[in-house]
Protein backbone atom coordinates (compact mmCIF):
# COMPACT_ATOMS: atom_id res chain seq x y z
CA UNK A 1 0.00 0.00 0.00
CA UNK A 2 1.20 3.51 -0.67
CA UNK A 3 1.61 6.28 1.88
CA UNK A 4 -1.18 8.28 3.48
CA UNK A 5 -0.33 11.95 3.83
CA UNK A 6 -2.28 14.20 6.19
CA UNK A 7 -2.46 17.94 5.50
CA UNK A 8 -4.43 20.74 7.13
CA UNK A 9 -4.29 23.75 9.42
CA UNK A 10 -2.12 23.74 12.54
CA UNK A 11 -4.14 22.09 15.30
CA UNK A 12 -6.30 20.09 12.88
CA UNK A 13 -5.04 16.90 14.56
CA UNK A 14 -2.71 15.53 11.85
CA UNK A 15 -0.09 14.32 14.33
CA UNK A 16 -2.58 13.13 16.95
CA UNK A 17 -4.75 11.16 14.53
CA UNK A 18 -1.80 10.18 12.31
CA UNK A 19 0.01 8.11 14.90
CA UNK A 20 -3.21 6.28 15.86
CA UNK A 21 -4.00 5.65 12.20
CA UNK A 22 -0.52 4.20 11.63
CA UNK A 23 -1.03 1.82 14.55
CA UNK A 24 -4.39 0.54 13.37
CA UNK A 25 -3.12 0.06 9.80
CA UNK A 26 0.20 -1.49 10.88
CA UNK A 27 2.05 1.34 9.11
CA UNK A 28 5.10 3.40 10.01
CA UNK A 29 4.46 6.92 11.29
CA UNK A 30 6.44 9.92 10.05
CA UNK A 31 5.98 13.45 11.37
CA UNK A 32 7.53 15.92 8.91
CA UNK A 33 8.01 18.47 11.69
CA UNK A 34 10.31 16.05 13.51
CA UNK A 35 12.32 15.41 10.33
CA UNK A 36 12.82 19.18 10.01
CA UNK A 37 13.97 19.49 13.62
CA UNK A 38 16.38 16.56 13.19
CA UNK A 39 17.88 17.94 9.99
CA UNK A 40 18.29 21.46 11.36
CA UNK A 41 19.19 20.40 14.92
CA UNK A 42 16.85 23.11 16.17
CA UNK A 43 13.27 23.35 17.36
CA UNK A 44 10.70 24.57 14.82
CA UNK A 45 10.10 27.88 16.59
CA UNK A 46 13.88 28.43 16.83
CA UNK A 47 14.28 27.92 13.06
CA UNK A 48 11.45 30.39 12.41
CA UNK A 49 12.90 32.91 14.91
CA UNK A 50 16.51 32.71 13.73
CA UNK A 51 16.16 32.11 10.01
CA UNK A 52 12.81 33.69 9.21
CA UNK A 53 9.57 32.52 7.64
CA UNK A 54 10.79 32.22 4.04
CA UNK A 55 13.80 30.12 5.05
CA UNK A 56 11.60 27.87 7.19
CA UNK A 57 9.19 27.35 4.28
CA UNK A 58 12.09 26.40 1.99
CA UNK A 59 13.54 23.97 4.57
CA UNK A 60 10.09 22.41 5.00
CA UNK A 61 9.73 22.22 1.22
CA UNK A 62 13.07 20.41 0.81
CA UNK A 63 12.52 18.02 3.72
CA UNK A 64 9.05 16.95 2.53
CA UNK A 65 10.18 16.72 -1.10
CA UNK A 66 12.86 14.23 -0.07
CA UNK A 67 10.74 11.81 1.97
CA UNK A 68 11.16 8.29 0.61
CA UNK A 69 8.82 5.93 2.38
CA UNK A 70 6.32 3.15 1.84
CA UNK A 71 3.35 2.06 3.87
CA UNK A 72 3.62 5.08 6.11
CA UNK A 73 1.27 7.68 7.52
CA UNK A 74 2.94 11.07 7.11
CA UNK A 75 1.70 13.95 9.29
CA UNK A 76 2.89 17.16 7.66
CA UNK A 77 3.24 20.60 9.23
CA UNK A 78 0.44 23.06 8.47
CA UNK A 79 2.68 25.24 6.30
CA UNK A 80 3.84 22.43 3.97
CA UNK A 81 1.20 23.66 1.54
CA UNK A 82 3.44 26.62 0.56
CA UNK A 83 6.04 24.22 -0.87
CA UNK A 84 5.28 23.35 -4.50
CA UNK A 85 7.97 20.64 -4.84
CA UNK A 86 6.93 19.13 -1.51
CA UNK A 87 3.26 18.93 -2.44
CA UNK A 88 3.96 17.53 -5.91
CA UNK A 89 6.22 14.86 -4.39
CA UNK A 90 3.77 13.96 -1.62
CA UNK A 91 0.97 13.55 -4.17
CA UNK A 92 3.22 11.17 -6.11
CA UNK A 93 4.22 8.95 -3.22
CA UNK A 94 0.75 8.58 -1.73
CA UNK A 95 -2.75 9.80 -1.18
CA UNK A 96 -3.11 13.26 0.31
CA UNK A 97 -5.95 13.73 2.80
CA UNK A 98 -6.99 17.18 3.98
CA UNK A 99 -8.30 17.24 7.55
CA UNK A 100 -10.87 19.98 7.39
CA UNK A 101 -12.11 22.01 10.37
CA UNK A 102 -14.08 25.23 10.75
CA UNK A 103 -12.32 28.45 11.68
CA UNK A 104 -14.34 28.58 14.92
CA UNK A 105 -13.18 25.14 16.10
CA UNK A 106 -9.56 25.81 15.16
CA UNK A 107 -9.47 29.14 16.94
CA UNK A 108 -10.82 27.54 20.15
CA UNK A 109 -8.31 24.71 19.87
CA UNK A 110 -5.23 26.80 19.08
CA UNK A 111 -5.54 29.53 21.72
CA UNK A 112 -2.78 32.05 21.23
CA UNK A 113 -1.51 31.27 17.73
CA UNK A 114 1.48 33.62 18.04
CA UNK A 115 2.99 31.40 20.76
CA UNK A 116 2.72 28.27 18.59
CA UNK A 117 5.48 28.84 16.04
CA UNK A 118 3.07 29.11 13.13
CA UNK A 119 4.15 30.58 9.78
CA UNK A 120 2.26 33.83 10.18
CA UNK A 121 3.14 36.84 8.03
CA UNK A 122 3.38 40.29 9.57
CA UNK A 123 -0.10 41.57 10.44
CA UNK A 124 -1.75 38.24 9.61
CA UNK A 125 -4.17 36.69 12.09
CA UNK A 126 -5.65 33.18 12.27
CA UNK A 127 -8.64 34.20 10.16
CA UNK A 128 -6.35 35.55 7.41
CA UNK A 129 -4.21 32.42 7.58
CA UNK A 130 -7.29 30.19 7.36
CA UNK A 131 -8.61 32.03 4.32
CA UNK A 132 -5.21 31.94 2.61
CA UNK A 133 -4.54 28.25 3.22
CA UNK A 134 -7.91 26.51 2.84
CA UNK A 135 -7.98 26.86 -0.98
CA UNK A 136 -4.41 25.45 -1.13
CA UNK A 137 -5.27 22.39 0.96
CA UNK A 138 -8.30 21.84 -1.27
CA UNK A 139 -6.20 22.21 -4.40
CA UNK A 140 -3.49 19.73 -3.42
CA UNK A 141 -5.51 17.06 -1.63
CA UNK A 142 -6.91 13.90 -3.19
CA UNK A 143 -9.62 13.72 -0.52
CA UNK A 144 -10.95 15.98 2.22
CA UNK A 145 -12.33 14.65 5.50
CA UNK A 146 -14.64 16.86 7.55
CA UNK A 147 -13.35 16.45 11.11
CA UNK A 148 -15.88 18.77 12.75
CA UNK A 149 -17.14 17.39 16.07
CA UNK A 150 -14.87 14.31 15.90
CA UNK A 151 -12.43 13.22 18.55
CA UNK A 152 -9.12 11.69 17.42
CA UNK A 153 -10.52 8.13 17.32
CA UNK A 154 -13.58 9.30 15.35
CA UNK A 155 -11.31 11.01 12.84
CA UNK A 156 -9.18 7.87 12.48
CA UNK A 157 -12.33 5.86 11.83
CA UNK A 158 -13.48 8.35 9.18
CA UNK A 159 -10.10 8.11 7.41
CA UNK A 160 -10.17 4.30 7.63
CA UNK A 161 -13.63 4.27 6.01
CA UNK A 162 -12.35 6.51 3.24
CA UNK A 163 -9.37 4.19 2.64
CA UNK A 164 -11.40 1.01 2.51
CA UNK A 165 -14.04 2.41 0.18
CA UNK A 166 -11.51 3.75 -2.36
CA UNK A 167 -9.40 1.29 -4.32
CA UNK A 168 -6.64 3.76 -5.19
CA UNK A 169 -5.33 3.57 -1.61
CA UNK A 170 -4.46 -0.08 -2.22
CA UNK A 171 -2.12 0.34 -5.23
Ligand X SMILES: O=C(O)C1=C[C@@H](O)[C@@H](O)[C@H](O)C1
Q: Give me the 15-54 binding string for Mg ion, x by CB under 5 A, dash otherwise.
A: x---------------------------------------
* 144 scored as a contact of ligand ATP (CB under 6 A): no
d(CA 168, CA 134): 24
Does 12 contact ligand ATP by CB under 6 A? yes
Alpha carbons within 13 angstroms on the beta-carbon side of residue 28 total 13
Question: Count of H helices and E strands in the chain?
Answer: 8, 5
Is 91 annotated in a binding site? The answer is no
Rounded Cα–Cα distance for residues 28 and 35 (Å):
14
Q: How far apart are CA 163 and CA 146, in angstroms?
A: 15
What is the C-alpha to C-alpha distance for residues 65 and 88, in angstroms, rounded to an integer?
A: 8
Of 35 and 163, nearer to ligand X (C-beta) is 35
- 76 binds Mg ion, rule: CB under 5 A: no
Binding residues for Mg ion restricted to 1-20, rule: CB under 5 A: 14-15
# chain residues binding Mg ion, by CB under 5 A? 2
Rounded Cα–Cα distance for residues 171 and 168 (Å): 6
Question: Which part of the chain contacts ligand X (CB under 6 A), choosing from 22-30, 99-107, 112-120, 147-155?
Answer: 112-120
What is the closest distance, in whole angstroms, from the C-beta atom of residue 78 to ligand ATP in the complex?
Answer: 4
Binding interface with ligand X (CB under 6 A): 10, 33, 44, 77-79, 117-119
Amino acid sequence: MKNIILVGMPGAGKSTAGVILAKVLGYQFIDSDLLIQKREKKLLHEIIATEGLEAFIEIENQVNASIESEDSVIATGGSVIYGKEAMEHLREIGTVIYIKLSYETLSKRLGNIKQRGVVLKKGQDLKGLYEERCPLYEEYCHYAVDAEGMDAEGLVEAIRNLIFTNQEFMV
